[in-house]
Amino acid sequence: MWLEGARLRGILFDKDGTLIDFDRTWGPAAHAVMATLAGGDRARFEELMRVSHYVEDERRFLPTSPLLAGASSIYGPLWARVLDRPAGPDLYVEMDRLFREAALRSLHPIGAPADLAAQLVGAGYALGIATNDAEASARAQAEVLGLTPHLGFIAGYDSGHGAKPEPGMVLAFAAHLGVAPARIALVGDTPADTCAARAAGAIAIAVLSGPAGEGAREIMAAHADYIIGSIHDLPALLAEIAA
């Protein structure tokens, strides 16, 4: 039963940097994918790292990396030029598949997202994921993390709703629940998340668990309705909002 008088009915989570540790998951995965696509050509591998703003020794991305946006359609053209391959769906599907396989090997959640999800569902909230990763990757990771039983909606950049910061995923989740977007909150670690929420008319909740950490606070403050340290601060915030 939904909470009587609750302001929010649905919580839509970004995935990377919000539910999973971005650097610990995608840092090793990206190294493996770039090495595979470079095919043993060290110069080409180094150029992929350069355009990706990737620090090889630390297996992490700089905050300026175009890969932080998630969608292969966004950074894919950069990689296509380095690889001397046509930019387009064929390459992006291959990239998505390689990343999906590699990320499952290095998947690191932030805290215990399945426990939090169970708590929120028990409190009457409907949950979903809105990610600029591919939908198949999001579903595979949600299954490994034990989130699948708690989720009624999963959308990736290729699910037909557009990519963040466009509002399509948020609007689709609201339509799925049959509620106004104002009764939805999107929780994420980048301006793409908070801007998508604002564009849809939803509540924008920023978390500081992404690659930029506490350094993201000032940037996110301009676009967020609320800022918390991580998803595990969410129950207290939701209680405040409901009150």
Q: What share of the chain is helix, strand, coil (3-state, %, to 5)?
A: 50, 15, 35
112: Cβ contacts below 8 Å, ≥ 6 apart = 232
Q: Is the dihedral of CA 213, 101, 69, 176 positive or negative?
A: negative
pLDDT digits (tens, 9 = 90+) for 45-80: 999 999 999 999 999 998 889 888 777 888 999 999
Local confidence band at 192 (pLDDT 50, 70, 90 cut-offs): very high
Q: Residue 4 pLDDT > 70, yes or no?
A: no
* CATH code for the structural domain at 10-21+109-242: 3.40.50.1000
Q: Output the CA–CA distances (angstroms, integers) from residue 38 to 33, 79, 109, 234, in the order listed.
A: 8, 10, 29, 41
Domain layout of the chain by residue ranges: 10-21+109-242, 22-105
Whether the full predicted model's pTM is greater than 0.85, yes or no, is yes
- Model pLDDT, residue 1: 29
DSSP per residue, 176-189: HHTS-GGGEEEEES
